[in-house]
Amino acid sequence: MSTQRALQTLINFLRLDEDPQSERDNPVRNKWEDESTAARSLGFYSRQISDVNHEEELLNQRLDHLAHQKKMLNVGLSQIQNTRAPINRLPLEVLSKIMQTNAYEGSVLTPHHRGCWIWTLPTLRTCHLWRAIVLALPAMWSLVRISGRTTMEEITTWLARAGKRPIDVLLELPIDDNDENKYAEVLGIIVSAWNFVSAWNFVSARQIRSVHIHGHLIASAMFPLRGNIAELHTLVLDCYFKHISQDTESAFTIFPSTIPRSLRVLSIIAGDNEPFPITLSSTANQDLTLLEELCLVDVMLSHLQQTLVSCNSLKLFKWDIFEDFVGPSTLLPNLECLGVYTCGSLQYLELPKLGTLHLRTLGPDYRHLSCLSSFKNLTKLIITRVEAMYNPARFFFLANITSVTYLSMPFTDGTSSILKTLSSFDLGSKPGTIYFPCPNLQVLEATYISKADFLKPLVDRRVSLPSSPLEIRVARHYCPKENEWEAWMGKIHWG
């Protein structure tokens, strides 16, 4: 009986497609479906786990490869550092000297007007090592800035870090609104700080190399530069010279006691457009015998001729004032560079070694330009500005200068108008032939003109070029080579 029942159950199970209700109610069928679904899910997740394990294995292999590559790079870097870069193992004192040797010389010798070294600032932000090197560099601390807010503790720390190196001092004088009492109070603080620095350097046998004074300098106040300045090399007065008293016509006196005989550079720059009268001490002419550079901007120095005569070592003289140097002929035997506002001062100066002349303004009065041909060693001529009133004869002096190899001048009147001037004179050539200025010219810097406006008249008029190769710079930039003018300008070397 039981066998028949089991057989009937099997028959009913096999007839699932004929009776849907029995398919739903069959417990064996339901259990089979549940197990099949679980098996399929298990296979799906097993495959995902296998894929993740495979990716993990690949990543581990990649990490092992990168670790091996890093190890090899570290080995190579270590070999390079041991064989080619022992600098990282040097002490900071030695590294600071290396940096000082390779630093830009001009930035080391000339402090920034704000009282910091320009070339050290980017290095401070490079890394911790080079920041430590810069802070250990004595040149970093060799500029002492003194103002009304400076304390003695700051100066003491600064001077201690500077070591035995010669120092540069920046005196920032107060800028006030005619408040003489407040000015005197702040100036007293600055003078006290300066006296402390001077005494410190005297005790430590250290030189004060340069002094830069910036701000307002009032005539009735004491001059702040006193004390140990016997070996002073450079003095720069970049000030607004002021008279608080009613006597504004009197000359401003600097160096009430004496000028250091070691002074090599003296620069006086007034902050006014009007020439400011300044006088030196009574012994200035005897004390400036070793002066090599003299710069006067908007300053009318009393007894200038006597001062120049006493400066036998003077090599650079800048006279930037709208007044001519008037007086008897003055011999400057060693002067190599001269900068003047107008050409009227040239007729009173004998300059046998003059090599560079910077003429700020070329006015309509060209009569004094003939003396340029007497400067046999003149090789560089710079003209900053040409007045608008056109006078063709003023450019004829260029044809008589045979020693000049570098010429910089504005071509505000156009190339053809300037060069056409030379054709109107008898130069021993065919009529109408235009010769280029300065027969031995090698570099011509044409300012205030475009490249096309400069070159087209030269091509059209077939200007005769100098015999030597010529380099032309237009608008203070080097000109690219132009193919259409190559045949005609074969002798020109474009930068």
Residue 39 placed within a domain: yes
Task: Say whether 250 sits in a helix, a strand or coil.
Answer: coil
Residue 287 placed within a domain: no
Residue 192 placed within a domain: no
Give just the sign of the alpha carbon dihedral 12, 13, 16, 19.
positive
**Under 8 Å between Cβ of 301 and 307:** yes
**What is the number of structural domains in the chain?**
1
Query: Residues for the chain: how many in total?
Result: 495
Distance (Å, rounded) from C-alpha 376 to C-alpha 302? 31
Strand 471-474, strand 477-478: pairing = antiparallel
How far from chain centre, in Å, is Cα 76? Answer: 38
Distance (Å, rounded) from C-alpha 133 to C-alpha 101? 13
**Under 8 Å between Cβ of 416 and 391:** no
Distance (Å, rounded) from C-alpha 438 to C-alpha 418? 13
Residue 54 placed within a domain: yes
Residue 55 placed within a domain: yes
Residue 8 placed within a domain: yes
Residue 17 placed within a domain: yes
**Under 8 Å between Cβ of 216 and 190:** no
**Structural domain boundaries, residue 49:** 2-87
Q: Which residue has the tokens 């007007």?
A: 113
DSSP 8-state assignment for residue 464:
B
Query: What is the reported pLDDT for 484?
Result: 34
Query: What is the reported pLDDT for 255?
Result: 56
**Under 8 Å between Cβ of 443 and 405:** yes
- Both tokens of residue 289? 């015998």
Residue 115 φ/ψ region, left for φ over 0, alpha for ψ in the -120 to 50 degree band, beta for the rest: left
Query: What is the reported pLDDT for 119?
Result: 45
Q: How many CB atoms lie within 10 A of CB 113?
A: 12
Task: Kindly give the parts of the chain with pLDDT less than 50.
Answer: 17, 104-119, 244-248, 256, 414-415, 422-434, 477-495
> Who contacts 231 (Cβ-Cβ below 8 Å, separation ≥6)?
207, 208, 209, 260, 262
Phi, psi at residue 295, to the nearest 5°?
Answer: -125, 120
Residue 74 placed within a domain: yes
**Under 8 Å between Cβ of 174 and 148:** yes
> Who contacts 277 (Cβ-Cβ below 8 Å, separation ≥6)?
249, 250, 251, 252, 300, 302
- Both tokens of residue 431? 């009529």
